[in-house]
Amino acid sequence: MNILLTGAGGQIGADLVSALVAEGHRVVATDLRPQPERPGATWRQLDVTHAGDVDAIIHDVRPDVVYHLAAILSASGERNPTLAYEVNQTGTWHLLEACRRHAVPRFIYTSSIAVYGPGLPDPCPDDVPLHPTTMYGVTKASGEMLCEYYAKKHGLDCRGVRFPGLISASLPGGGSTDYALFMYVDGIRRGGYESFARADTRVPLMYMPDGVRALLELAAAPRERLARTIYNIAAFSPRADEIAASVARAVPGVTITYAPDPLRQSILDSWPRALDDRNARADWGWRPRYTLDAMTDDLVPKIRALLAGGANLAH
């Protein structure tokens, strides 16, 4: 199949491009900034805020599936809400319109737990009132509704997941759960890390291989099995000090301390502590494979190798 990705230079994109190429697809990966060539994938520059450019690349590639990853994340979005709105809201509309005009068969949307607000059930189900507290969350909630609108109004096959905080052996993109990854990175590189989240902070997290697999499995699921457009997916929900303990098991002598940042802590406190993903499990067989400790065992050697190779995993 012909596959087009937006935001392919971000945290999810690198692993998703590799997985799609491994499955034998013809992949066109786009991003605002030029990216290094990857075997089996073609890279194109794309700014999703420019409607004409979006339409032109959809017309040119004629994708069977579009994976829409381009976004400004939560903490970065609070520093520049105008940019977050333009990329996350307007950019999503441009993609959906181009897919409608050119009859793209399938559109995969990446949403987030940031669509939720405080005071929700624990674990939090799919269908609750959405009262996000960040521009990122507002635009992701609106993107979900746009997907549902285009599905009902125009018959576009839109599907999406609400991701927990994602952790991978790559540079994070300015999200509020970056503290989790830097416990590993700075723990290995410097022997310790001062977390911007409190020790008792608990939010849903997921290891990137599970996140990529979820996107592939949802994209491949028969349409008739899907009872909804957007799905919660879950893996594990550790406290920050439980992540620190898992890091210490694999990196002896590491020291994790806590100095909460008011902005990012307020974002984390507004999110659910756990997600109810029973609909994803029932409709398309979603199951996570990684626990916290299984992630640690896989992640620590990868970070060691990246740092030894000179990778820039700076804050």
Would you please indicate which residues are annotated as catalytic (active-site) residues? 136
DSSP single-letter state for residue 89: I
- Asked if 57 and 4 count as a contact pair (C-beta separation under 8 A), the reply is yes
End-to-end CA distance of the chain: 37
182, two tokens = 């830097």
Classify each residue of 14-27 as buried b or exposed e, where b means 16 or more C-beta atoms within 10 Å of its C-beta: bbbbbbbbeeebbb
Residues in the chain, overall count: 315
62, two tokens = 């004629």
DSSP single-letter state for residue 154: H
Whether the bond between 288 and the residue before it is cis, its omega within 30 degrees of 0, is no
- Asked if 161 and 230 count as a contact pair (C-beta separation under 8 A), the reply is yes
| Separation CA 285–CA 125 (nearest Å) | 17
Enclosing H/E stretch for 308: helix 292-308
189, two tokens = 């590189």
CA-to-CA separations, 50 to 53, 56, 206, 314, in angstroms, rounded:
6, 10, 32, 30
| Separation CA 213–CA 33 (nearest Å) | 25
> Could you tell me how far CA 244 lies from the centroid of its own chain?
22
At position 247, the amino acid (one-letter code) is V
Task: Give backbone dihedrals phi and psi of 8, rounded to 5 degrees, phi first.
Answer: -75, -10
| Separation CA 101–CA 95 (nearest Å) | 10
- Asked if 43 and 61 count as a contact pair (C-beta separation under 8 A), the reply is no
